[in-house]
Amino acid sequence: MGRKTHPRVQRAKGQAAIIALRLLGSLPFSINRAIATAVGTLLAWLPTQAFKVSKTNLAHCYPTLSNAEHTRLARESLVESAKNTFEIALLWRHPAQGLSRVVSVQGDAPLRQAVQDGKPIMILAPHLGCWEVLNFWLATEFGLHAMFAPSGLPEVDSLVRSGREHFGSTMYPTTARGVAGLVRAMKKGALTAILPDQVPDRRSGRHAPFYGHPAYTGTLACKLVRQTGAVTFMAWARRLPGTQGYEIRIRPADTAVADDDLDTALKAMNRSIENLIDEYPSQYLWSYKRFRRPPPDTDSPY
């Protein structure tokens, strides 16, 4: 078993994180964005692990692009990731600011119709753009039921949860009881959102193609769709240039995400994620090790 962190050390980490988040959250949006852009630009030109992972992922997923194009996209993505880190510190403290900066919504008519029809709805929202703003918008427009995984830092969890619940979202723990509660809510017509591109633990996923390569993929979303009959959509909040705000984009997911064959459903889900990323690749979190759990007898690309 791994060595446990001493409670005092864990508490100190949480307090330090809260101080940093509150400092960033106290800055006006324009200053927050300017500092994030400067920090992200600096980091993007350093030979960091995040840069190396980003280039590896981009070479895997966009093999027809040149090395120079992989480098450019990796740097752009790291700048966008810095913006995301800085802005969520502000938005967790001031959720209304995030919602007020949604300046346009695209493709929401089918979603609104499904809500009006009283159908359960699954929103698949990958690590693209600003997912916290998307959460705020969904919660305000329709009511949102979602899973919440604690970080291990209670002080930080309290800040994050208060921000996410500001507009009345219902949060469920990532436990069997939490999943059961979410299923009950969905069967009554609730709307839920899941991050579908996280690498799950070894009991909660299986390999499915992602940009033509096997990626260990969580099965929860597809199982919930099949169990509840939910109508499934893809969604993200595009970060507009400068301080212009955000654009919500809603897309129908591949209907095969509800297929009885789980492998077929997972392929369809990853294909839907790819289509969303392709709309604006630089705003995807390419520094995440999406392929870190390869199939047996296969080397990790990292």
The CATH number of the domain where 41 resides is what? 3.40.1130
**218 beta partners:** 205
Domain total of the chain: 1
> Which range is least confidently modeled, 1-10, 190-199, 245-254?
1-10
Give pTM, 2 decimals.
Answer: 0.89
| Distance from C-alpha of 160 to C-alpha of 146, rounded to nearest angstrom | 13
Mean pLDDT over 155-167 rounds to 67
CB neighbour class for 287 (10 Å; exposed up to 12, middle 13-18, buried from 19)? buried
Q: Which of 97, 167, 160, 120 is nearest to 139 (CA)?
A: 167
Q: Looking at mean pLDDT, say which of 1-5, 190-194, 213-217 comes out highest.
A: 213-217
Average pLDDT, the chain: 90
Q: What was the pLDDT predicted at 152?
A: 63
Is pLDDT larger for residue 24 or for residue 265? 265
Residue-wise pLDDT for 140-152, tens only, equals 999 999 877 666 6
**Strand 145-148 and strand 191-194: pairing?**
parallel
> Using an 8 Å Cβ cutoff, are 262 and 222 in contact?
yes
Q: What was the pLDDT predicted at 252?
A: 97
Domain region containing 243? 7-283
One-letter amino acid at 21 equals L
Please report which confidence band the pLDDT of residue 2 belongs to, taking 50, 70 and 90 as the band edges. Answer: very low
State yes or no: pLDDT of 13 exceeds 80: no
Q: How many CA atoms lie within 13 A of 162 on its CB side?
A: 11
Residue 298 maps to a domain: no
One-letter amino acid at 210 equals F
Residue 292 maps to a domain: no
Residue 112 maps to a domain: yes
Q: What was the pLDDT predicted at 155?
A: 65
Residue 127 maps to a domain: yes
Mean pLDDT over 194-212 rounds to 93
One-letter amino acid at 288 equals Y
Residue 225 maps to a domain: yes
Residue 302 maps to a domain: no
Mean pLDDT over 175-199 rounds to 91
Q: Which of 279, 251, 231, 230 is nearest to 108 (CA)?
A: 251
> Which range is least confidently modeled, 8-17, 21-30, 75-84, 213-222?
8-17
Residue 223 maps to a domain: yes
> Using an 8 Å Cβ cutoff, are 185 and 192 in contact?
yes
Residue 300 maps to a domain: no
Q: What was the pLDDT predicted at 92?
A: 84
